[in-house]
Amino acid sequence: MPRLVAGIFAALVLLTLGGLLFMRTQTWKRIQLRRASILAATNRVDAMIRLLRRNRNRRSVLDPLTNALIYYFIRAGRLDDAEDIVAEAIQKGDSSGTALGQLGLIASGRGRMDEAEHFYRKALEKDSSLIRSLGVNLAGLLIEKRQGLDEAERLLEQALEMREGASRSGVHVNIALLGLAKGEFRDALVHAMTGYELMPAGESTRGPRAQALALAARASGLLGEREEAVELSRKALDLLEGLQGFDKLRTEVDEMAAEYGKPAPSPVRAPRGRLNP
């Protein structure tokens, strides 16, 4: 009997160790990410956050569950929560370029553009392979600051070469922003619509698709194509209907639709007068 008990105990220990080892595998991580996606899709956000918190690796932002949680908090505007997770990982030894890049995203979300640029450049110095993602963020920041537009253009051209399919949509949207900044409105319109068309339709892309349409509407308006600008603005507003976190964009698009919906001002003509003999 003692041998039987010992054998059962040994088997339980092996099963437990096997389970713990499985929990560290990428397969197990992918299963948890799928579970998190299902929870998010069914609007069970609190349950999703608990799942990610419970199963993530606190020592590394490269852990897929930790990474997913950080980016969720950034997109949701919960920047303090995102920063706490990154800071904890750095404190525990994470010195990756990804961690620096995430600090850049957090700084950008707070409107601290110089700080964001500092972190983006440090991240790229640390890990040049991050150029595929952070290069677009840095370019967008330079466009917003109206500084280094030539560098921004090079970064975006490089990103287009490195990406394929739907992943190019964000690059085209940033090129549209660049076109507006440089006064190249026709190019801005083309790239904004290209970015919109590359994005898959779905709940998770409603905000980004609305942003692309808003840029296209602005470019159309600046080209004098007022009816097209109004139509694009209304399409953007339809996408924004009931969507949380996009109040500022909704207000801007609403104002743009009203602006371009007015009759175009008639050109002022110089009064005709008789010439003095």
Mind giving me the DSSP string for 161-187? HH--GGGGHHHHHHHHHHHHHHT-HHH
Please state the pTM of the whole predicted model. Answer: 0.73
Q: State the Cα–Cα distance between residues 185 and 256, nearest whole angstrom.
A: 16
Structure-token pair, residue 230: 């109004």
Q: Which residues of 128-152 are buried (b: 16+ CB within 10 A; e: fewer)?
A: eebbebbbbbbbbbbbeeeebeeeb
Mind giving me the DSSP string for the chain? -HHHHHHHHHHHHHHHHHHHHHHTSHHHHHHHHHHHHHHHHTT-HHHHHHHHHHHS-TT-TTSHHHHHHHHHHHHTT-HHHHHHHHHHHHHTT---HHHHHHHHHHHHHTT-HHHHHHHHHHHHHH-GGGHHHHHHHHHHHHHHHT--HHHHHHHHHHHHHH--GGGGHHHHHHHHHHHHHHT-HHHHHHHHHHHHHHSPPSGGGHHHHHHHHHHHHHHHHHTT-HHHHHHHHHHHHHHHTT-TT-HHHHHHHHHHHHHHHSPPPPPPPPPP-PPP-
Output the pLDDT for position 265.
58
Radius of gyration of the chain (CA): 25
Phi, psi (5° rounding) for residue 265? -65, 140
Single out the residue of 87, 145, 153, 76 nearest to residue 116, CA to CA.
145
Residues 6+ apart with CB under 8 A from 47: 39
Output the pLDDT for position 233.
95
Q: State the Cα–Cα distance between residues 230 and 224, nearest whole angstrom.
A: 11
The number of beta carbons lying within 10 Å of the beta carbon of residue 7 is: 10
Single out the residue of 181, 248, 182, 258 nearest to residue 210, CA to CA.
248
What does pLDDT average to in each consecutive run of 10 residues of the chain (277 residues)?
A: 48 40 67 86 87 90 92 89 96 95 95 95 94 91 92 94 91 96 96 96 90 96 95 94 84 92 59 43
Q: CA angle 201-203-205, nearest 5°?
A: 60
